[in-house]
């Protein structure tokens, strides 16, 4: 997780309690989705991955730190033994 996990406050649907959980930051979520799309290719990945990228960007684009996203992509691709080629990724999406 790049740079690190975040604490997410989750409100219970059944009571008035809040729970704190550790979660991926938004840049790492996108990096994971992008690496999956890149690894499996356009026709072999699930379209849900494309949809997830679209929804995350559509609703959270103002919260995305581009430098952190690039760093998260680099680390995620490296961790999964994939070559991080930003130009190929842009063309694929």
Asked if 48 contacts 91 with a C-beta cutoff of 8 angstroms, the reply is no
Q: What is the pTM (predicted TM-score) of this model?
A: 0.81
Q: Which element (helix H / strand E) includes 11?
A: strand 6-11
Which tens digit of pLDDT belongs to each residue from 3-46?
889 999 988 889 999 999 999 999 999 999 999 998 888 777 78
Which tens digit of pLDDT belongs to each residue from 42-75?
777 788 899 999 999 999 999 999 999 999 999 9
Q: Domain ranges in the chain?
A: 25-92
7 has which bridge partners? 22
């Amino acid at each position: 997780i790049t740079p690190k996990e975040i604490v997410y406050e989750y409100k219970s649907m059944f009571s008035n309690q809040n729970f704190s959980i550790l979660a991926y930051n938004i840049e790492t979520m996108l990096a994971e989705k992008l690496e999956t799309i890149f690894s499996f290719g356009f026709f072999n990945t699930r379209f849900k991955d494309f949809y997830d990228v679209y929804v995350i960007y559509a609703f959270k684009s103002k919260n995305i730190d581009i430098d952190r996203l690039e760093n998260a992509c680099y680390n995620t691709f490296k961790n999964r033994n994939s070559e991080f080629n930003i130009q190929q990724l842009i063309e694929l999406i």
